[in-house]
Structure 1
């Protein structure tokens, strides 16, 4: 692009970096990111989110956390999407305890979460044995101005069933039906494989 007189912007770089990660070309994505640091198209929050997500998906947890710290130092605004990438990435790479600890810190900062964040953390809490805390967080969702979705209900029910708490899972299912959140095919698959 540069050779024909077109100067790529942050959106162009973000698209290419994301494409490299999705193609499994981690080194190429990081090379492009380093190139981006040397031109006028400066990395933004989206750039860092793409890089951290790609690194987590490639199993490079330490590198993803380093990029997070780099992002914080750069002064860029951390969005809820940034925290969702970090929390989800930690959970998917065997660091659910670390994700729950980070969530606890973020809660103390009165950060406003979305339902994606809470779904991720409820699952993480179950994974690290904080069952009561997961149940309390689920109950508190409406007070946070959010509405549980099918993923929230599925996460709760499948984890409760896995822990042998079938009656509680049935109660959650009943509340799911009365809340107007109909179960879908994914729900039935997930819950039946846990029974």
Structure 2
């Protein structure tokens, strides 16, 4: 971060790619508070977060079990005119499934399917494990059957 601050102080203006790298590194290091601060500072620097930026922060929040905040950020992303992609949906659905919030995961799965996105292999594995271990309700099995 010191090098980054030196860049800014010397008049260099990093682009969104540089910020994505920094935010991702902070999230991976478990510094979600710093990642959030950097993310929310983007607009004051006249930079618009892109789908990758949002996905990085959503992933960081999910890894810290901050699923409500991650879900709110997904909604904020859409409201700001940045359309979520399959990757963003897959990240948050995985978070909800890993936290046994099946109903919320299924709502997002239905939304992503309606938008034409595919379920990734990780989600499929989590769903198959859930169906084998706990007996999912009929609506979940119907969604699962669409992809088999």
> Which TM bucket (shorter chain)?
0.7 to 0.9
Which structure's CA Rg is the greater one? 1
Matched residue of 1:120: which SS?
helix
- Structure 2 alignment gaps of length 5 or more: none
Residue of structure 1 in register with 2:76 after alignment = 105
Tell whether the 8 Å contact from 1:100 to 1:124 is kept in structure 2 after alignment: no
Cα offset, 1:83, TM superposition: 0.3
Cα offset, 1:105, TM superposition: 3.1
Q: Following superposition of structure 1 onto structure 2, how do residues 101-180 of structure 1 map, counting pairs within 5 Å?
A: 101-109=72-80, 111-127=82-98, 130-158=101-129, 160-161=130-131, 164-165=134-135, 174-177=145-148
Residue of structure 2 in register with 1:49 after alignment = 20
Ranked by relative contact order (alpha carbons within 8 Å, sequence separation 6 or more), the top structure is 2
Cα offset, 1:38, TM superposition: 2.6
Distance change >3 Å, CA 73–CA 40, structure 1 → 2: closer
Aligned partners of 1:108 and 1:94: how far apart in 2?
23
Matched residue count: 147
Aligned partners of 1:86 and 1:58: how far apart in 2?
13
Residue of structure 2 in register with 1:70 after alignment = 41
CA RMSD, 1 decimal? 2.7
Tell whether the 8 Å contact from 2:59 to 2:91 is kept in structure 1 after alignment: yes
Cα offset, 1:91, TM superposition: 0.9
Tell whether the 8 Å contact from 2:77 to 2:84 is kept in structure 1 after alignment: no
TM-score (norm 1): 0.63
TM-score (norm 2): 0.80
